[in-house]
Amino acid sequence: MSQADSIHTLSLKGIHDGVHTGKFSVMEATDAYLDRIERFNPELNAYITVTRDTAKTQAVDIDNRIRKGELTGAMAGVPYALKDLFCSEGVLTTCASNMLANFISPYDAHVAEKLKAAGGVLLGKNNMDEFAMGSSNETSAFGSVCNPWDVSKVPGGSSGGGAATIAARLAPMTLGTDTGGSIRQPASFCNITGIKPTYGRISRYGMIAFASSLDQCGPMAASAEDCALTLNIIAGLDGRDSTCMDLPVPDYTATLNGSLEGLRIGLPKEFFAEGLDAQVADVIDRAIKQFQAKGAIIKEVTLPNSHLAVPVYYVVAPAECSSNLSRFDGVRFGHRCENPKDLMDLYERSRWEGFGDEVKRRIMIGTYALSAGYYDAYYLKAQQVRRLIKQDFEAAFKDVDVIMGPSCPTTAFGIGEKKDDPISMYLEDLYTIPVSLAGLPGMTFPIGFAADGLPVGMQLVGNYFEEARMLNIAHQYQQWTDWHTQVPARFA
């Protein structure tokens, strides 16, 4: 059946309309994606778990409910995936770690619950860097993920499996998380659209924590419109997360077509300085000119403390993770070593065996930064600088409506290239980390290909809770261009 062959080219709205007008069933849509996963996942390794059976059961149920008119929403009948750190009831939830290689979650994360209730069909759980710590998806205990645009390259990280999934159209939408750039950087490497909303916009309940004050969940999809539809469902108050804000959720699709005439776009000069790959800079320049041609006003802004963001991040995030990961102790769930001889042995060996090198490195850095005598010099100081970074953005937003710049300094690098050089890996997130530290919303959308043939994404930063504005801007860009619809030939 020819329709099934093209389902993966549809937008969320296309799938929704298809299943609601009877062009194809939810089961057919689900099967189409499951077949693609079966065919392509072995070479990409984008999924850790494929929930084939439950997906089919859900599809039958949702088909029925759509037929009875019980389900009509935008996600009804739409397949999707989840980064493997969202707890999914009855489903293996590994965080790409040996520590949780056997962990079947007894409950659903808030966002998983929302998508389930909206009638989405869960296809599976995406590969990622272990506990979301990494920028290349190489720290996964379940193996690296390959970039669909060049399988010798990384997809970025930590939501690398999700980015590869969307790039190869192995799901129309997935949820990632972004702590220091984990949605935006892989989106840039893989030519997809992804948004990290304002910290507090979406409940973190059931999202296995890396760094609690930075972690935020967000949609990854082909287009800004698909992200907007998803955000409509997952954003909003949840009483189970104290840091989730009680603010009204706008209809993010309602303002997608707003004009960009007079839009003030700020370009932070620090993001265009030394370190930015020239071929990436070229692609960025070209896109900026397109905005200018459509009536946007381009201004230079300055974020004078942004050079401190990476060091600040590598104190704050490891500090929080060192504490967040203490619960993985081999006592109640997760990996437990064989025949512990006493309690200390149980702790030490379970954690030694369960965690990978990068996770251990960050636990050690964080433990050190919080230790008596070092707390003031590291953690406290980092929090103070974090405030300065936030103030930089607040000042910039007095002059401009949004900020644009590169999502990362380079295009996707080779698998194995930076694996043994953590510092250069950490610098990958140079442009995304300041935004995370400030708690601001940031997104990446495709703007073309560099001279090396690899995709480049634009980072777009909005003021607090201005996701609608950002989605509007990206959507408009996607009306003028077709970068976001491009798929590597092999996966077309």
Q: Which residues bind other proteins (CB under 8 A)?
A: 85-87, 93, 95, 100, 103, 105-107, 109, 204-209, 211-213, 239-243, 319-320, 322-323, 325-329, 331-334, 343, 347, 367, 370-372, 375, 379
Closest approach of other proteins to the CB of residue 174, in Å: 17
Q: Which is nearer to other proteins, 351 or 418 (CB)?
A: 351
Alpha-carbon torsion 285, 286, 288, 292, what sign?
A: positive
Q: Which is nearer to other proteins, 30 or 324 (CB)?
A: 324
Contact 125, 81 (CB under 8 A): yes
Cα–Cα distance, 3 to 15 (Å, whole number): 11
Nearest Cα neighbor of 255 from 481, 470, 446 is 470
C-alpha triplet 147, 96, 423: angle, nearest 5°? 65
Strands of 216-221's sheet in order across: 47-50, 121-126, 79-83, 173-178, 216-221, 193-196, 442-449, 455-462, 402-406, 264-268, 297-301
Closest approach of other proteins to the CB of residue 368, in Å: 10
- Which positions are catalytic? 83, 158, 182
C-alpha triplet 56, 128, 30: angle, nearest 5°? 15
Give the bridge partners for 414, in sequence order.
153
Nearest Cα neighbor of 126 from 190, 90, 170, 178 is 170
Q: Which is nearer to other proteins, 77 or 206 (CB)?
A: 206
Nearest Cα neighbor of 156 from 441, 459, 480 is 459
Burial of residue 78, with CB atoms counted within 10 A of its CB: 0-12 exposed, 13-18 middle, 19 or more buried: buried
Nearest Cα neighbor of 167 from 412, 468, 452 is 412
Closest approach of other proteins to the CB of residue 316, in Å: 9
Burial of residue 10, with CB atoms counted within 10 A of its CB: 0-12 exposed, 13-18 middle, 19 or more buried: buried
Closest approach of other proteins to the CB of residue 335, in Å: 12
Extract the tokens encoding 4. Answer: 């099934």
Contact 431, 444 (CB under 8 A): no
Q: Which is nearer to other proteins, 374 or 449 (CB)?
A: 374
Give the burial string for 441-460 (b: 16+ CB within 10 Å, else e).
Answer: bbbbbbbbbbeeebbbbbbb
Q: Which is nearer to other proteins, 304 or 340 (CB)?
A: 340
Look-up: residue for tokens 């620090």?
270
Closest approach of other proteins to the CB of residue 425, in Å: 24
- Cα 244 to Cα 102, 200, 285, 323: the distances in Å are 30, 4, 36, 21
Closest approach of other proteins to the CB of residue 69, in Å: 34
Closest approach of other proteins to the CB of residue 182, in Å: 16
Closest approach of other proteins to the CB of residue 347, in Å: 6
Q: Which is nearer to other proteins, 99 or 470 (CB)?
A: 99
Look-up: residue for tokens 């069933």?
25
Q: Which is nearer to other proteins, 106 or 295 (CB)?
A: 106
Interacting residues of 362 by C-beta distance below 8 A, sequence separation 6+: 133, 317, 318, 321, 322
In 102-150 the beta strands, taken as DSSP E runs, fall at 121-126
Closest approach of other proteins to the CB of residue 349, in Å: 13
Extract the tokens encoding 478. Answer: 């996607």
Q: Which is nearer to other proteins, 376 or 420 (CB)?
A: 376
Q: Which is nearer to other proteins, 386 or 469 (CB)?
A: 386
